[in-house]
Amino acid sequence: MRYDQARWTHDEERFEPLLSEKHTKEADLDDSPLPDELTRDSLELPDLSEPELARHYTRLSEMNYGVESGPYPLGSCTMKYNPKFTEDVAALPSAAVHPDRSPETVQGTLKLLYDLQDYLGRIGGMDAVTLQPPAGAAGEFTGVLVAKAYHEHNGEDRSEIIVPESAHGTNFASAALAGFDVVELPGGEDGRVDLDALEAALSEETALLMLTNPNTLGLFERDIEEIAEMVHDAGGLLYYDGANLNALLGQARPGDMGFDIMHYNVHKTFATPHGGGGPGAGPVGVVDRLAEFLPRPQVTQDGDKYELVDPEHSVGKVHGYLGNWLVLVKAYAYIARLGDEGLHDASAKAVLNANYLASQIEYEVPYGPFHHEFVASAGDQDAADVAKRMLDYGVHPPTTKWPEIVSEALMTEPTEIENMETLDQLAHAFNAVANEDDETLHNAPERTTARRIDQTSAARDLRLSWHALDDE
């Protein structure tokens, strides 16, 4: 399959012009009561017809690759197609609710949030859920704060959090941000938690073990019940990173495995596009004995009435109002539409797709069997070069270089949305790149709008506004 991405160019040097470079008009500026240093003398605004505007944004979309362009197997991030009906639900006029309205005037809003808390609690096996955290990392931080408050309430000053070496980087950051010392836990030869290493790491200082199950390699922790018992015997709590919950929907529940706290990446698992810094939502669920430490306020039900109540020993607010409302609306709609059977089917297909794709590629896949994702090794090739070249075959590349326990890692998650034809397309891209020479890989990509870039400079010399172009 040959892939040629659109390349709309304004001249030899520039792509599709900015709106400000098209047709503009001078805006009328009235006298302002603001100080002169906060005002401007003139303002040029784009002045385009509707067809001009529509074509501009269509061209920009054609110059980007997204989940609607083709497969997007970005490992661990669960980049799956999000059904448009959830966007329609979030765009309903009744969803445009001002967050400062009194509870008595937004009973429908509170009912939706209450029901979503219940849905998520049942899916995860948790007794209480807060919807406030605006992202997965914020959910981690909230969960760590809950654990800290719980231990302090019991008169214990525990200083350490254990994090496996393959954990998401935000796990380490969340623990450190909350003031804990991070104890890194090495993995075993099978890619799972090494029970001897865990035993050595546990102590009276252990507040929490942060764990993903299945883990970053896509492997289920077979000893999870023993792990939970070991942590609890040491007086610690067990935290579930919900990044890989897509593998368990309707199949198993973290609460039943012994987890005390978990966050849900509803922007990964339950619709809403993920990436680019947002939007996101990272609700946190806890077992009953931790419910009194959740952020305030909580949505509760009293007969036919829904109220906002502050948990007795709450860690306080972690986000404005009740969370990212429209993201939560989409998650509610997604869960309600699929139901128990649909969620069960989604996870089953995610597992099937990952194992099928892993069996079809020529790169070494050092572990298995897998759940929703797998990690292959690019071997003697540079994983970053492999990723860039895969774009020329019309597929988005997997996550590269991570986890570091696999050399030149290619972390791949096809999700449940892809059919066999698309999986075969992905396998063809993997295998074609695996057999290409170094020069071809070093020059890739060749058929995308943006060619090979200097990633270091791009990361250090950010251009976050079109104004930066005027400085060239």
Q: Per the domain annotation, does 430 fall within a domain?
A: no
pLDDT value of residue 268: 86
Indicate the helix (H) or strand (E) that contains 211.
strand 206-211
CB 187 within 8 A of CB 216: no
Which pair of structure tokens corresponds to residue 118?
């219940």
Q: Per the domain annotation, does 200 fall within a domain?
A: yes
Q: Per the domain annotation, does 23 fall within a domain?
A: no
Q: Per the domain annotation, does 251 fall within a domain?
A: yes
CB 327 within 8 A of CB 279: yes
pLDDT value of residue 277: 56
3-state helix, strand, coil in the chain (%, to 5): 40, 15, 45
pLDDT value of residue 472: 56
Q: What is the CA radius of gyration of the chain?
A: 24
Tokens 């040491």 correspond to 234
Query: Which domain does 289 fall in, by range?
Result: 85-337
pLDDT value of residue 7: 86
- Strand-strand pairing, 284-286 and 128-130: antiparallel
CA angle 242, 243, 245 (to 5 degrees): 60
Q: Per the domain annotation, does 435 fall within a domain?
A: no
Tokens 């939502």 correspond to 281
pLDDT value of residue 469: 63
Work out the widest C-alpha separation in the chain, in whole angstroms.
Answer: 73
- Strand-strand pairing, 261-263 and 237-240: parallel
Helix, coil or strand: residue 263? strand
Q: Per the domain annotation, does 123 fall within a domain?
A: yes
pLDDT value of residue 470: 61
Q: Per the domain annotation, does 434 fall within a domain?
A: no
Burial 62-90 (b: 16+ CB within 10 A, else e): ebebebeebbbbbbbbbbbbbeeebbebb
pLDDT value of residue 55: 93
CB 12 within 8 A of CB 456: no
Phi, psi dihedral angles at 395 (to 5 degrees): -130, 150
Distance of alpha carbon 448 from alpha carbon 65, whole angstroms: 9
Distance of alpha carbon 98 from alpha carbon 374, whole angstroms: 43
pLDDT value of residue 456: 87
DSSP result, 159-174: -EEEEETTS-HHHHHH
Q: Per the domain annotation, does 426 fall within a domain?
A: no
Which residue from 412, 447, 441, 436 is spatially nearest to 426, judged by alpha carbons? 412
Question: Per-residue pLDDT tens for 205-253?
Answer: 999 999 999 999 999 999 999 999 999 999 999 999 999 999 999 999 9
Helix, coil or strand: residue 261? strand
Alpha helical stretches, state H, 234-324: 254-257, 266-269
Phi, psi dihedral angles at 149 (to 5 degrees): -65, -40
Into how many domains does the chain fold?
A: 1
Is the model's pTM score more than 0.85? yes
pLDDT value of residue 466: 67
CATH number, position 323: 3.40.640.10
pLDDT per residue of the chain (472 residues) written in tens, 0 to 9: 678 899 887 776 678 888 878 888 877 767 778 888 888 777 778 888 999 999 999 999 999 888 888 999 999 888 888 889 999 999 999 999 998 899 999 999 999 999 999 999 999 999 999 999 999 999 999 999 999 999 999 999 999 999 999 898 899 999 999 999 999 999 999 999 999 999 999 999 999 999 999 999 999 999 999 999 999 999 999 999 999 999 999 999 999 999 999 999 998 899 886 655 567 899 999 999 999 999 999 999 999 999 999 999 999 999 988 899 999 999 999 999 999 999 999 999 999 999 999 999 999 999 989 999 999 999 999 999 999 999 999 999 999 999 989 999 999 999 999 999 999 999 999 999 999 999 999 999 999 998 898 888 888 888 777 666 665 5
Helix, coil or strand: residue 24? strand
The Cβ of residue 315 has, within 10 Å, a number of other Cβ atoms equal to 20
Distance of alpha carbon 406 from alpha carbon 418, whole angstroms: 25
